[in-house]
């Protein structure tokens, strides 16, 4: 409806005439027209009929300003749509001497159009308001003077060094050089808890430094930041159409022409064929034209779709259009990748077995020293554990690295090694070798990782494991409650590790040592299994958006979960989960199902009004009980307003406690930041 009006209020020039034709201008005009209708009705009741008629004509004139404008714009594009139908119906009602009915039609039509446009703005504002999080300045290092100066974020290039003060917004994607702080990423991930960052960690544009000062190095220009890519992605998603919406778009003009043709046919048949007086036949034809106009049908799908996309974006879920929402709503089984999806994809130290080591702290200091210069994930985990316990790495001389086996060096003049059992056995005392072997066997049987440290007639085992993501332990139970089963895991890891993870998370089944082609085969089998149970159901895959590309492509709906800085995760899947919490998976399914039900209810209401009111108009005209035009107007436009309001309820869809929106970010931010963050929450009640 109102397809010819500007797509957003911001597109209208800021002039008096421009404001008049904006969404708020239309809303104000409709309210004035409605007030005049009430005045005319009251004047008629007290006997001031002529003044009452004048009020009706004035209300009609206000409505025609907007109605005729949109109708002319449609005809200029050679489009015969609902705008034309409504303008024609109102003018014909006035010609027949019924200005009150024509005024009521245009009052409700313009009011519904204004509310529809404002609803569209509300559904996009939750995402567009993220622009307000981008600061207008940044503190960049001036290499000539060695001081930090204010510059525009748009001027920053990769490699430039910045300082981010407490409470300030990160202007571009960057990597931390110096400092330790907490960064609130709620604007991108929907998570309320800040993330601790230090040297080597990434920070992203639009996030808030809520701790100590940081020195960072720019990694992307502002135009290529994570926030900008997310906004571009959501903008493209909002422009996509669901299959049902494409059908409605394709047949809306033929339907409008059909309605006009049927109305003319009723006029002629009732007048010439059935002998009704011309005014009575015309009254019936105009009423039929009004009640059969497809306003509510046209907006039933897009308002709900855009509301769901906006609500998902606020919760850290990016739907790439209405089709993605529809496919996710039909999800009946799902397969997860393990590393980087069900687990964080980075090992951490779980235990220290000081088999023949007098002090476990000394064992960890030696291991951290040997791994001091390594970038291997195991080395990073060992150094992080030592730092967490406040242990300084032992000084290591003559460090060496043997690919696939381990690292070596000298500590206090004595050789030391860290790695697998064969590599370290030479330095492990004979009396300890059997015990080390037993510990390693026990560790490996549970799917964990064990590395041996040997030095100075001492030996120990460090146990590491890839920990599950937040929300993973309740994931299966929540999905089962939504009738999504089986929940399976596909991994290229070994069988012992896969079994350990699957059992700890309660997965229905798993496949280990899968190559990419094996995962595709498994997905095809899963799809066939789902189809046997539910012909319309679908099977989904959740992966990291990079290694699982073939499986993601084979699934009915593909979901990527990964770093907010991952280009592949943003581009390769139908849906992107930006939060590290797997609790967003069932939440996203619930939102998609709610959106689908909303669309179904919207269409049922819209079509029901057309069928019931159309039949009542025709039958009533032949049985001596004609449907009043005002009742037809009320039913038609009331259905439109009801559809818009029902769609907006999706914006109130609540997330679970562990998936909080940006509006619940921790308190204590600077006032300017608080104001920017609060702008994300759309004020639906202001519609």
Active site residues: 337
E strand residue ranges, 435-537: 449-455, 458-468, 487-490, 509-511
Distances in whole angstroms, Cα of residue 555 to Cα of each of 63, 514, 578, 580, 592: 50, 16, 20, 22, 17
Count CB-CB contacts under 10 A for residue 439: 19
Cα 305 versus chain centre, distance:
11
Instruction: Label the pairing between strands 557-561 and 575-577.
Output: parallel
* Cα distances (Å, whole numbers) of residue 270 to 240, 259, 278: 44, 16, 8
Parallel, antiparallel, or unpaired for β 487-490 and 147-151?
A: unpaired
Picking from 248, 291, 188, 280, the residue whose alpha carbon sits closest to that of residue 578 is: 188
The answer to whether the CB of 336 falls within 8 A of the CB of 290 is no
Torsion sign across C-alpha atoms 566, 572, 575, 580: negative
Q: Give φ, ψ of 619 to 5 degrees.
A: -70, -45
CA 589 – CA 467 distance, rounded (Å)? 25
Helix (H) or strand (E) holding 43: helix 23-45
CB contact burial 283-304 (16+ within 10 A = b; e otherwise): bbbbbbbbbbbbbbbbbbbbbb
- Output DSSP code: residue 655: P
Q: What per-residue string of b and e applies to 142-178 under the rule 16 or more CB within 10 Å gives b?
A: eeeeeebeebebeebeeebbbbbeebbbbbbbbebee
Query: Are the C-beta atoms of 105 and 290 separated by less than 8 Å?
Result: yes
Contact 313, 654 (CB under 8 A): no
Residue 359's CB: how many other CB atoms inside 10 A?
Answer: 11
The C-alpha atoms of residue 475 and residue 485 are separated, in whole angstroms, by: 12
Closest by Cα among 491, 536, 487 to 513: 491
Q: What is the DSSP string of 174-232?
A: EEEEE--EEEE-HHHH---S-EEE-TT-EE-TT-EE-SS-EEEEE-S-GGGSHHHHHHH
Token pair, residue 400, equals: 């060496």
Spatial distance between the Cα atoms of 95 and 575, rounded to a whole number of angstroms:
53
């Amino acid at each position: 409806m109102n397809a010819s009006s500007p797509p957003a209020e911001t597109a209208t020039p800021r002039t008096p005439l421009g404001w008049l034709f904006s969404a708020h201008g239309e809303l104000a005009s409709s309210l004035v027209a409605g007030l005049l209708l009430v005045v005319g009705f009251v004047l008629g009741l007290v006997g001031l009929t002529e003044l009452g008629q004048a009020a009706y004509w004035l209300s009609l004139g206000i409505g025609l300003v907007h109605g005729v404008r949109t109708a002319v714009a449609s005809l200029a594009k050679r489009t015969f749509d609902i705008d034309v139908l409504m303008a024609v119906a109102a003018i014909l009602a006035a010609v027949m001497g019924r200005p009150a009915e024509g005024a009521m039609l245009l009052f409700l039509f313009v009011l519904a159009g204004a509310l529809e446009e404002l609803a569209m703005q509300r559904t996009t504002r939750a995402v567009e308001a993220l622009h307000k999080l981008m600061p207008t300045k940044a503190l960049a290092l001036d290499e000539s003077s060695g001081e930090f100066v204010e510059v525009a974020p748009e001027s920053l290039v990769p490699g430039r060094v910045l300082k981010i003060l407490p409470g300030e917004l990160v202007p571009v994607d960057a990597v931390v050089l110096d400092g330790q702080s907490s960064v609130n990423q709620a604007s991108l991930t929907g998570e309320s808890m800040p993330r601790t960052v230090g040297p080597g960690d990434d920070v992203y544009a639009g996030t808030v430094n809520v701790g100590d000062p940081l020195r960072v190095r720019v990694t992307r220009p502002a135009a290529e930041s994570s926030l900008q890519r997310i906004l571009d992605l959501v903008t493209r998603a909002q422009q996509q159409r669901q299959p049902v919406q494409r059908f409605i778009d394709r047949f809306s003009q033929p339907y409008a022409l059909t309605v006009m043709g049927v109305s003319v046919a009723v006029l002629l048949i009732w007048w010439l064929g059935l002998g009704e007086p011309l005014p009575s036949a015309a009254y019936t034809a105009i009423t039929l034209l009004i009640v059969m106009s497809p306003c509510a049908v046209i907006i039933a799908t897009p308002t709900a779709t855009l509301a769901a996309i906006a609500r998902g974006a606020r919760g850290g879920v990016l739907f790439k259009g209405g089709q993605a929402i529809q496919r996710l709503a039909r999800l009946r089984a799902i397969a997860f990748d393990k590393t980087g999806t069900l687990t964080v994809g980075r090992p951490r130290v779980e235990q220290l077995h000081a088999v023949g080591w007098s002090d476990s702290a000394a064992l960890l200091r030696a291991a951290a020293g040997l791994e001091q210069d390594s970038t291997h994930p195991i080395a990073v985990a060992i150094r992080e554990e030592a730092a967490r316990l406040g242990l300084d790495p032992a000084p290591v001389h003559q460090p060496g690295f043997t690919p696939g086996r381990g690292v070596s060096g000298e500590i206090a003049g004595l050789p030391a090694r860290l790695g697998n059992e064969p590599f370290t056995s030479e330095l492990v005392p004979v009396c300890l070798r059997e015990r080390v072997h037993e510990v390693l066997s026990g560790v490996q049987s549970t799917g964990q990782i064990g590395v041996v440290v040997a030095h100075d007639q001492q030996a120990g085992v460090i146990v590491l494991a890839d920990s599950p993501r937040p929300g993973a332990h309740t994931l299966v139970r929540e999905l089962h409650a939504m009738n999504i089963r089986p929940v399976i895991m596909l991994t290229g890891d070994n069988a012992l590790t896969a079994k350990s993870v699957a059992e700890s998370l309660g997965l229905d089944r798993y496949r280990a040592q899968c190559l990419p082609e094996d995962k595709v085969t498994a997905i095809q089998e899963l799809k066939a299994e789902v189809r046997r149970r539910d012909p319309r159901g679908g099977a989904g895959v959740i992966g990291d958006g990079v290694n699982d590309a073939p499986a993601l492509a084979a699934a009915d709906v593909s979901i990527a979960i990964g770093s907010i800085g991952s280009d592949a995760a943003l581009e390769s899947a139908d849906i992107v989960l930006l939060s590290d919490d797997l609790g967003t998976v069932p939440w996203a399914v619930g939102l998609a199902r709610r959106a689908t039900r909303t669309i179904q209810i919207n269409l049922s209401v819209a079509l029901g009004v057309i069928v019931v009111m159309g039949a009542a108009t025709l039958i009533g005209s032949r049985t001596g009980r004609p449907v009043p035009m005002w009742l037809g107007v009320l039913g038609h436009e009331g259905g439109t307003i009801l559809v818009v309001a029902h769609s907006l309820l999706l914006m109130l869809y609540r997330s679970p406690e562990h998936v909080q929106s940006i509006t619940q970010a921790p308190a204590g931010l600077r006032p300017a930041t608080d104001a920017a963050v609060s702008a994300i929450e759309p004020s639906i009640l202001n519609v």
